[in-house]
Amino acid sequence: MSKLLVIRFSALGDVAMVIPVLRDLAVAYPDWEITFLSRQQCASLAAGLPANVQFFGADLKGRHHGLGGLRRLMDDIHWQQFDAVADMHDVLRSFYIRHRMLIAGKRVAHIHKGRFQKWLLVRHHYRYKHPLQSTVSRYHTVLDELGFHVPASQPILSDKGNGIGIAPFAAHKGKIYPLEKMEEVVRLLGAEMHRRGEQVYLFGAGEHEKQILDDWAKKHEGVVSTVGRQKMDKEIEIMHSLRVMVTMDSSNMHLASLAGTRVISIWGATHPWAGFLGYGQSIDDCIQRDLPCRPCSIYGNRHCQFGDYRCMDIAPAAIVKRVMKTIQ
């Protein structure tokens, strides 16, 4: 049986976007054995993939740290067995692995991230802005270069579950709706869900986010915090059972998409045109302000030039109205 190595170490949302591509690939090429190399923390995302897909979790902070660790990692995955490698990450670690495999005569392809086009997208003087190729589409292009022609499946997103999920955090301030406003969204939706006999489920990670969301859950009826109480696979199950998720441009948008749940996403400094909209999600479900300064950042990590993050000046009532319209 021919063997393919697929590499994507991080970030969580990007790893989540690889999963549907792997599923389509495994179904289209059942005679290929596919190994998905990622961080061990992402193992639960690969659960449920077809039997010809194996997950290998790298310990990048321990056994597989540094150059010596990368050599051990290649030995651990028995790299000589692979016929081809699809580098979906294109960072130094994945470059080292694919370069050694290329020298050994393996077929190699890597993602082209469109860095120049993304740079133009956030330049205010550049007037000809348009949607860029999505990340999922870029993953398919890598496979095409290796000769794997995989038709992209169209996910069926459900909004017929029970309850609403809200994930108010993201990696950078430019992507986070102001928490005092988000708490008002939580309060209003919690009251409405309580009236219906349903609940609002809050999602986050880490002690700081846990403290905030636990506090909201105590203060407002119909609100439950999941932070620190469930493992990732269980959180994805909860997302799957919901009517809709409300998220930022964040990993939770991609986890909910992986769960097959419709997402209302809130965008500030970033923009869905950069290609990071959740798999199968519609731009019609993106809440965002049309401002001449947007987008100012691809990842949301640039400080607002005005200092006020006016891109997030969105009324809580407008978000609540959009969510309620979705679940009617």
Domain boundaries, the chain: 2-145, 164-327
Query: Residue 1 has what pLDDT?
Result: 78
Residue 227 has pLDDT above 90, yes or no: yes
Note the pTM of the prediction, 2 decimals. 0.95
**Torsion of Cα atoms, 7 then 11 then 12 then 18, to 10°:** -40
* Nearest-10 crossing angle of helices 179-196, 316-327: 30
What does the pLDDT average to over 120-124?
A: 93
What does the pLDDT average to over 52-73?
A: 97
What does the pLDDT average to over 171-184?
A: 98
Q: Are 80 and 68 in contact (CB under 8 A)?
A: no
Q: How confident is the model at residue 275 (pLDDT cuts 50, 70, 90)?
A: very high
What does the pLDDT average to over 110-139?
A: 93
Residue 159 has pLDDT above 80, yes or no: no
Q: For 164-327, CATH number?
A: 3.40.50.2000
Residue identified by tokens 């499946």 is 153
3-23 pLDDT, tens per residue? 999 999 999 999 999 999 999
183-211 pLDDT, tens per residue? 999 999 999 999 999 999 999 999 999 99
What does the pLDDT average to over 234-239?
A: 95
Q: For 2-145, CATH number?
A: 3.40.50.2000
Q: How confident is the model at residue 230 (pLDDT cuts 50, 70, 90)?
A: confident
Q: How confident is the model at residue 74 (pLDDT cuts 50, 70, 90)?
A: very high
State the CB neighbour count (10 A cutoff) for residue 66.
Answer: 9
Query: Residue 254 has what pLDDT?
Result: 98
54-64 pLDDT, tens per residue? 999 999 999 99
Q: What are phi and psi of 55, to 5 degrees?
A: -105, 135
Query: Residue 149 has what pLDDT?
Result: 95
Mean pLDDT of the chain: 96
87-117 pLDDT, tens per residue? 999 999 999 999 999 999 999 999 999 999 9
Residue 71 has pLDDT above 80, yes or no: yes
Q: How confident is the model at residue 152 (pLDDT cuts 50, 70, 90)?
A: confident
